[in-house]
Structure 1
């Protein structure tokens, strides 16, 4: 298992699947059995395909910027700044991926929090 390889796979997944909205390129990074824990996305490769199609249609300018990425065993955790529509405050996201021994993404969890307009500290979310 290569931690650096797994991190690069996840970075490539963000770039191809979310930023470029290229389902076919991102699908190459997904294993045969993909388990999705986000309740708004269906399981499997077909669920991911539908998600990318929705992004392409509803949020063509969506950008996901990975601020931090960590690997531990077969897990990769990313701290991400997501902006669906340019000019909006966006969302702070923590994504957790599990990769198989071949380095393919086989499971995904996420936690999301809107970036607020007003804050009680100056530390920032990223």
Structure 2
């Protein structure tokens, strides 16, 4: 596996581990010494990440994520996902997450964008 493929797999496993309810393990296994957060709804640092995903697990225990694309360049990985958050509203979202890696191959920074899935698009194409 190439270094860029390793980073893509690391980003996917980090995201999947946290999303499926174990953010502490995700941070322990995949995050570097620092973790800089750019999502305005998540507190900065490792604990902010853990708190956010623990809350998500409590509020949406049946949520699911499907990884559509993973793109890597230099020290960055971009993930494109399709998420279903489950009860009570079963809303679907498309996300684009960007992760920056340190020289040890650990995640140290995150940016994202999220949009609710719209079925009736002007182009007639899906959002994913």
Q: TM-score, normalised by structure 1?
A: 0.91
Which residue matches 1:51? 52
> How far is 1:116 from its partner?
1.4
How many aligned positions are there?
125
Q: CA deviation at 1:45?
A: 0.7
Q: Give 5+ residue unaligned stretches, structure 1.
A: none
| 1:81 alignment partner in structure 2 | 82
TM-score by length of 2: 0.90
Deviation at 1:89, TM superposition (A): 4.5
Partner of 1:15: 16
CA contact (8 A) 1:89 1:116 kept: no
The higher relative CO (CA closer than 8 Å, separation ≥ 6) is in: 1
- CA shift, 1:88, in A, is 3.0
* C-alpha RMSD of the superposition: 1.6
Secondary structure (helix, strand or coil) at the match of 2:9 reads: helix
Q: Structure 1 stretches (4+) deviating beyond 6 angstroms? A: none
Task: Please state how far the C-alpha of 1:5 moved relative to its aligned partner.
Answer: 0.9
Tell me which of 101, 109, 119 is aligned to 2:111: 109
